[in-house]
């Protein structure tokens, strides 16, 4: 019966308009996602959520800065900017103007492994948004002057996020040093000379190659009629042909066998450092355990390094850890910003001592339970809006192909034992596989501010 | 003086097993911190969280984390609040902790010492953030001579002067019976939450003594066009904030002024973003803001071009603003702005937490509880003449504060030349802003 209904939803005039139901996927205890596939390969994930009269519509493309070549870094991100500008039948600026008229909250982001576009809007406007997004997937116009102007915007974004931002510069230097073969080496925003050199033809090539229905998933969450939505998608996307997605040509990062250390002089008043260890990929079961480890070490005020560096010793202003949520093995990262007059080396010694402790003694169950509770709070917080749910679904769909992974990861966290944390600490927190970037102040202060801080 | 029982606001809904709880302190925010003790309310909220019921900071932190909860203080100019979120299965112990934090903090001098050192370190961190720096510098200069200039995060000098006795007295002043407003959103039983609020309220001192909402004098901002340059070395980019005195939520033309702000810089498609970013590529962002408080606030324009483009960019923004004041808006712009405001309003109320937050906001600013719904209706009712009249009446292109974070030796004189009718030019070292 369901199959017959799907056939009736398909657009017989569209060469790729046939829709098929692929699977139902649990999303938490109460909800379930439906996965459909259009004949051109477009994946469609739907989740009904009638808690507010709104719909979130996200399009996730499985292309990011990992797919860029040397000399062409930042292309995925520049293209994301251009995807708001001009399309066949929609002159420059019209796309955004239409979205604003609908009251839509729209945005986009690019990272190492993906590029995503998102809208949240009042439920009455689903048909308009579907048409606009289908147009965006197939009918981008790349005119020289507009590309040049948007390059200026991106260069300004780079100045804002990296060149004039102390942490941005440390972070960029850390990844560039830690990854010397893999494309995770270069920043998603790209190197400045590469951004300057892009042509409209570069963007067009990238668009034609990667922006295709068989390289994308559409996620729809909110108060909508799924039959109508699927019918719309069949009619609007069913004419877009699939593309031959090139074989991915990413070189795995060889095992790191010697510690790397570099220093930067930065326009800051305090010393800082970023320390990265080669960590697991998102899909690796160790990733969940490393996430727990990161929470225990510096995830909150009750964490070990927060207590040591900030509360007890009072030598740091900020400390945090993270495990890169990426498709390929990533970094388990420590970032510390010292207080005025405190040396980075003093903070580093304490971080390394804590790492040795993690490798020598199991963490307590109470620490694991707190880390899990915080993660659960974070997950629930991300699911409060339709937009948040769509983002969570789209992220895991794009990264792991499992759109309900947020919940399976939470379940996996609950199974983590102290011995698991001990094992991943020994496996990943190896000094010979670490990269350190220290930032030293270059600024001459007009007065001795360290005196006031002491 | 005010002696009524505490106010409760609700938006309960079991869609997610999560409760948001806010407790707002009606007796004041950063603008009521005593002179020379700026940052005191913020320190107090943090001390309350860390020493709830006589606990140590470590015990408090571990307890909150273990409950799957968060609790933090927020200090505005005229109001302060503790905001918490907890997984629904742990509501009871979380509320018990919250009551301890509010009514029974320990005034521990050692913990205050740690807090002070952390707060000073945060000020140093702020020096790395040019966006935060331009905002702080703008606000200090704009509100100069008014209590609104007192920074919620304090200053090096003021943080050093605050004692544990100051904390104790400040707590006594802010936590009075009937002075709190409770707001709950999400999953929870109304009767339990009401009992929590009542019990907490009656445990506070002040029966019959009353308390006062803060009152503020009107602002008298500087006259003319003032260039306030925050000099920071090695900037490849500038941060620019321009503003003039503008809005009070009780103005009869406030809705019309909000429509004008939407047209000028409230969205990506607005004039500022289109002219600065889309057409010229001069900045990643260009927006205006029209905040409200218990006293009149500025309309601000914010953008961040590269250093070489700072002079033409400021000139362009000033020309655009002058055109807004002199020539007003078009009918088409008004129609589109109203469509945007009407359709996007749902995103202000699409979760219980957002709904209760709007009601709390109105309550604390002394506005009707349904202010935001009424305000939408009023905005949808305005026409072009009303928008033009509000712009002419409330905004001034001649009395403007122009704060810039950049490297003065590279661009300072260029900026002075780029600003027509500049009346005053000042330079301050970036580390003097804190």
Which chain A residue has the Cα nearest residue B15? A51
Dist. CA A111–CA A7, nearest whole Å: 37
B-chain CB neighbours of A102 within 8 Å are 343
A17: Cα separation from own chain's centroid? 31
Residues in chain A closer than 8 A to B87 (CB atoms): 373, 376-377, 380
From residue A154, alpha-carbon distances to A71, A109, B277, B319 in Å are: 16, 13, 10, 25
Q: Which tens digit of pLDDT belongs to each residue from A232-286?
A: 999 999 999 999 999 998 999 999 999 999 999 999 999 999 999 999 999 999 9
What's the average model confidence in pLDDT over A428-444? 92
Confidence of residue B28 (pLDDT cuts 50, 70, 90): confident
- Residue B241: what are its φ and ψ, rounded to 5°? -130, 125
Residue A339 — pLDDT band, cuts 50, 70, 90? very high
Instruction: Please list every residue in chain A whose beta carbon sits closer than 8 Å to the beta carbon of residue B234.
Output: 267, 442
Strands (E), A230-371: 260-266, 272-278, 316-323, 331-338
The pLDDT assigned to A5 comes to: 80
- Residue A255 makes CB contacts below 8 A (sequence gap 6+) with A278, A433
Q: What's the pLDDT at B1?
A: 44
Q: Is the pLDDT of residue B430 over 70?
A: yes
What one-character DSSP code corresponds to residue A416?
-
| 3-class DSSP assignment, residue B89 | helix
Q: What is the pLDDT of residues B259-291, one digit of tens each?
A: 999 999 999 999 999 999 999 999 999 999 999
Closest C-alpha among B415, B20, B52, B66 to residue B187: B20
ipTM: 0.94
Nearest Cα to Cα of residue B351 among A197, A383, A237, A167: A383
pLDDT number for residue B120: 97
The reply to whether B377 touches chain A by the CB within 8 Å rule is no
Task: State whether residue A310 sits within 8 Å of chain B by CB.
Answer: yes
CATH number of A260-453, picked from 3.30.830.10, 3.60.15.10, 3.20.20.140, 3.40.50.300: 3.30.830.10
* CA A407/CA A10 separation, integer angstroms: 32
User: What is residue A448's predicted lDDT score, i.e. its pLDDT?
Assistant: 41
Query: Cβ-count burial of A190 within 10 angstroms (0-12 exposed, 13-18 middle, 19+ buried)?
Result: buried
> In this complex, is the C-beta atom of B85 within 8 Å of any C-beta atom belonging to chain A?
yes
Do the Cβ atoms of A384 and B13 come within 8 Å? no
pLDDT digits (tens, 9 = 90+) for A78-110: 999 999 999 999 999 999 999 999 999 999 999
> Tokens 């009395």 identify what position?
B399
**CB-CB under 8 Å, B69 with A453:** no
Which of B51, B55, B58, B68 to probe the A interface (max A CBs under 10 A)? B68
Average pLDDT over residues B220-230: 92
- Average pLDDT over every residue of B337-357: 96
Residues facing residue A46 across a β-bridge: A34, A220
Q: Which residues of chain A are in CATH 3.30.830.10 domains? A: 8-237, 260-453
- Asked whether the predicted pLDDT for residue A450 surpasses 70, the reply is no
What value does the mean pLDDT of chain B take? 95
A59 forms bridges with which residues in the sheet?
A: A117, A218
Mean pLDDT over the full length of chain A: 95
Q: Which tokens is A451 given?
A: 């005196």
Cβ neighbour number for residue A94 with a 10 Å cutoff: 15
CATH architecture of the domain with residue range A8-237: 2-Layer Sandwich (3.30)
* Contacts with B334 (C-beta within 8 Å, 6 or more apart), sequence order: B259, B263, B382, B383, B384, B387
Contact at 8 Å (CB) between A119 and A62?
no
| Nearest alpha-carbon partner for B356 in B123, B117, B186 | B186
Can you name the residues that pair with A34 across neighbouring β-strands?
A24, A46
* Whether the Cβ atoms of residue A236 and residue A131 lie closer than 8 Å to each other: yes
Q: Contact at 8 Å (CB) between B87 and B72?
A: no
Is the pLDDT at A449 greater than 50? The verdict is: no
Quickly state the pLDDT bin for A29 (edges 50, 70, 90): confident
Could you tell me which residues are beta bridge partners of residue A273? Answer: A336, A438
Burial code (b: 16+ CB inside 10 Å, e: under 16) for A240-270 equals beebeeeeeeeeebeebeeebeeebebbbbb
Contact yes or no for A105 and B344 at CB 8 A:
yes
Residues in chain B within 8 Å Cβ distance of A389? none
For testing contact with chain A, the best of B281, B342, B356, B411 (most A CBs within 10 A)? B281
- The C-alpha torsion from A168 through A169 and A172 to A175, rounded to 10°, is -110
The residue-averaged pLDDT of B76-97 equals 97
Show the tokens assigned to B32: 């009521």
- pLDDT for the residue B208: 58
Q: Is residue A447 scored above 50 in pLDDT?
A: no
pLDDT at site B5: 60
3-state secondary structure of B176: coil
Residue B116 distance to chain A (closest CA, Å): 9
Please give the average per-residue pLDDT across A185-196, as a whole number: 98
Question: Considering CB atoms only, which of B66, B236, B345 is closest to A159?
Answer: B236
* Chain B residues inside the 8 Å CB shell of A339: 117, 121, 124
Tokens describing residue A63: 């292309």
Per-residue pLDDT of B401-424, as tens digits, reads 999 999 999 999 999 999 999 999
Chain B residue numbers with beta carbons less than 8 Å from the beta carbon of A340 are 121, 124
The H helix count followed by the E strand count for chain A is 17, 12
Q: Give the residues across from A119 on adjacent strands.
A: A57, A106
- Cα–Cα distance, B79 to B367 (Å, whole number): 14
Q: How far is CA B133 from CA A331, B76, B433, in A?
A: 31, 17, 7
Query: Is the Cβ of A167 closer than 8 Å to some Cβ of chain B?
Result: yes
**Measured between beta carbons, which residues in chain B are less than 8 angstroms from residue A155?**
306
**Total-model pTM:** 0.95
If one counts every other C-beta atom within 10 angstroms of the C-beta of residue B224, the result is: 12
Q: Which domains does chain B have, with CATH numbers?
A: 7-203 (3.30.830.10), 225-432 (3.30.830.10)
pLDDT in tens, A310-324: 999 999 999 999 999
């Amino acid at each position: 019966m369901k199959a017959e209904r799907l056939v009736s939803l398909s657009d017989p005039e569209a060469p790729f308009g046939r829709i098929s139901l692929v699977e139902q996927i649990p999303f938490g205890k109460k909800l379930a996602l439906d996965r459909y596939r259009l004949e051109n390969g477009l994946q469609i994930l739907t989740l009904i959520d009638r808690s507010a009269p709104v719909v979130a519509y996200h399009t996730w493309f499985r292309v990011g800065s990992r797919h860029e070549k040397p000399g062409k870094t930042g292309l995925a991100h520049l293209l994301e900017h251009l995807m708001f500008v001009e399309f066949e039948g929609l002159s420059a600026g019209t796309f955004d103007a239409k979205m604003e008229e609908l009251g839509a909250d729209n945005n986009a982001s690019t990272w190492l492994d993906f590029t995503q576009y998102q809208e949240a809007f009042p439920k009455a406007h689903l048909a308009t948004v579907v048409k606009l997004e289908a147009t965006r997937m197939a009918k981008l116009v790349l005119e020289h002057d507009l590309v040049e102007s948007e390059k200026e915007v991106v260069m300004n974004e780079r100045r804002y996020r990296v060149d004039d931002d102390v942490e941005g510069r440390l972070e960029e230097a850390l990844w560039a040093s830690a990854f010397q073969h893999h494309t995770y080496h270069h920043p998603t925003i790209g190197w400045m000379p590469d951004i300057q050199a892009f042509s409209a033809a570069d963007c067009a090539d990238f668009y034609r190659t990667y922006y295709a229905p068989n390289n994308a998933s559409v996620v729809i969450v909110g108060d909508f009629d799924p039959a109508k939505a699927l019918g719309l998608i069949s009619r609007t996307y069913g004419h877009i042909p699939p593309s031959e997605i090139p074989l991915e040509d990413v070189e795995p990062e060889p095992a790191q066998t010697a510690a790397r250390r570099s220093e930067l002089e930065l326009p800051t008043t305090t010393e800082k450092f970023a320390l990265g260890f080669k960590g697991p990929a998102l899909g690796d079961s160790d990733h969940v355990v490393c996430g727990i480890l990161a929470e225990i070490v510096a995830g909150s005020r009750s964490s070990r390094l927060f207590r040591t560096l900030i509360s007890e010793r009072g030598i740091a202003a900020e400390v945090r850890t993270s495990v890169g949520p990426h498709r390929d093995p990533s970094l388990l990262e420590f970032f510390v910003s010292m207080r005025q007059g405190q040396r980075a080396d003093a903070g580093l010694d304490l971080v390394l001592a804590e790492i040795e402790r993690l490798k020598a003694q199991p963490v307590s169950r109470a620490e694991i339970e707190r880390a899990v509770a915080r993660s659960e709070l974070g997950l629930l917080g991300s699911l409060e809006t339709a937009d948040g749910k769509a983002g969570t679904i789209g992220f895991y769909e794009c990264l792991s192909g499992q759109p309900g992974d947020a919940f399976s990861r939470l379940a996996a966290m609950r199974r983590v034992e102290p011995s698991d944390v001990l094992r991943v600490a020994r496996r990943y927190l190896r000094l010979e596989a670490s990269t350190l970037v220290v930032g030293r102040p270059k600024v001459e202060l007009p007065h001795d501010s360290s005196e006031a801080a002491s | 003086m005010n002696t009524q029982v505490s106010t409760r606001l609700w938006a309960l809904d079991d869609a997610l097993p999560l409760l948001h709880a806010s407790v707002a302190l009606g007796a004041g925010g950063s603008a009521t911190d005593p002179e020379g003790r700026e940052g005191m309310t913020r320190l107090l909220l943090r001390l309350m969280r860390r020493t709830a019921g006589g606990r140590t900071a470590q015990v408090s932190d571990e307890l909150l984390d273990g409950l799957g909860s968060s609790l933090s203080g927020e200090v505005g100019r005229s109001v302060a609040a503790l905001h918490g979120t907890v997984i629904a299965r742990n509501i009871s112990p979380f509320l018990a902790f919250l009551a301890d934090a509010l009514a029974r903090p320990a005034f521990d001098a050692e913990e205050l010492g740690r807090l002070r050192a952390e707060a000073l370190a945060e000020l140093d961190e702020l020096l790395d953030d040019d966006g935060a720096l331009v905002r702080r510098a703008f606000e200090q200069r704009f509100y100069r001579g008014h209590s609104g200039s007192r920074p919620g995060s304090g200053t090096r000098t003021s943080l050093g002067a605050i004692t544990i006795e100051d904390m104790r007295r400040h707590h006594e002043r802010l936590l009075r019976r009937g002075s709190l407003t409770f707001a709950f959103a999400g999953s929870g039983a109304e009767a339990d939450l009401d009992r929590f609020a009542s019990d907490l309220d009656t445990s506070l001192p002040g029966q019959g003594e009353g308390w006062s909402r803060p009152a503020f004098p009107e602002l008298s901002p500087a006259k003319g066009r003032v260039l306030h340059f925050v000099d920071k070395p090695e900037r490849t980019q500038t941060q620019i904030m321009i503003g003039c005195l503008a809005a009070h939520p009780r103005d009869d033309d406030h809705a019309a002024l909000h429509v004008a702000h939407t047209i000028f810089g409230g969205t990506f498609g607005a004039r500022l973003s289109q002219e600065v970013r889309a057409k010229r590529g001069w900045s990643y962002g260009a927006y205006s803001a029209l905040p409200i408080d218990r006293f009149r606030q500025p309309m601000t324009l914010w953008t961040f071009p590269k250093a070489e483009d700072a002079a033409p960019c400021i000139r362009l923004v000033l020309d655009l603003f002058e055109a807004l004041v002199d020539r007003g808006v078009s009918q088409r712009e008004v129609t589109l702005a109203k469509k945007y405001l009407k359709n996007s309003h749902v995103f202000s109320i699409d979760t219980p937490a957002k709904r209760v937050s709007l009601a709390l906001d109105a309550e604390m600013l002394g506005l009707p509880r349904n202010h935001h719904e009424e305000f939408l209706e009023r905005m949808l009712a305005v026409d072009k003449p009303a928008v033009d009249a509000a712009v002419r009446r409330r905004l001034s292109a001649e009395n403007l504060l122009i704060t810039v974070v950049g490297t003065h030796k590279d661009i300072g004189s260029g900026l002075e030349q780029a600003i027509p009718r500049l009346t005053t030019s000042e330079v301050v070292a970036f580390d003097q802003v804190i």
